[in-house]
Amino acid sequence: MSCKKNVVVSLFDYTGNMLKPWAKAGYDCYAIDIRHKEDYINNGIRYMDIDLSTELDMFDGNDIAFVSAFPPCTHLAVSGARWFKGKGLRKLADSINLFATATEFCESVNAPYIIENPVSTISTYWRKPDYSFHPWQYSGIEPKDNYTKKTCLWTGGGFVMPEYNIDDSIGKPDDRIHKAPPSPDRGNFRSATPLGFAEAVFQANQQVIKLS
């Protein structure tokens, strides 16, 4: 690869969806999440379980081309506001701490980054998001992503927000995320990065990285 920055890191990432376009292009990709019970490689992505508070120094910031982060939103999302008081301060503090860990790592490297959360109280505790989107706004790349789910992005490092790519021929987007029935995989289903958006981000940012 001609680009000297050849490492892409995705924090709190179980599915690795955000990394798939980067891996296909030949970048060294790392999906890090405590739900990965062991290290393994699949389709060019290394899935890892590491202690985010101490082991992120395994990466050389000079080699990193792009970072994405999906810190847990269970105790921050406004969709669960009615349960905030019952959760207590410790759970709130834990969620903010994880978000802060993602932010500190992203800002420590000289690379474009995104930190993703749904509409959440982080906007009050820290700052408002830079962008937001719905998966259906990139259905022109992946028609299966024709659904609603407002997602907020905090960005930096020269990140380029991709322009919408909508397939108007497939009808009105559905609300499958909100109607997902209870199940052991419900959280993973609801939080999975839409593939159309992941591809759009890759396309919008890889050229900027190569010129950096």
pLDDT digits (tens, 9 = 90+) for 176-198: 876 655 555 544 545 689 999 99
Who has greater pLDDT, 103 or 38? 103
The pTM of the full predicted model, rounded to 2 decimals, is: 0.85
Q: What is the pLDDT of residue 51?
A: 75
Q: What sign has the CA pseudo-torsion 199, 204, 209, 211?
A: positive
| Tokens, residue 169 | 């021929």
Sign of the torsion angle spanned by Cα atoms 15, 199, 77, 121: positive
The amino acid sitting at 127 is R
Domains of the chain, earliest start first: 7-211 (3.40.50)
More confident residue, 183 or 161: 161
Dist. CA 26–CA 12, nearest whole Å: 22
Is the per-residue pLDDT at 77 higher than 70? no
Share of the chain above pLDDT 90, in %: 55
User: Is residue 86's pLDDT more than 60?
Assistant: no
Dist. CA 119–CA 73, nearest whole Å: 9
Say yes or no to pLDDT of 140 above 80. Answer: yes
Average pLDDT over the chain reads 83
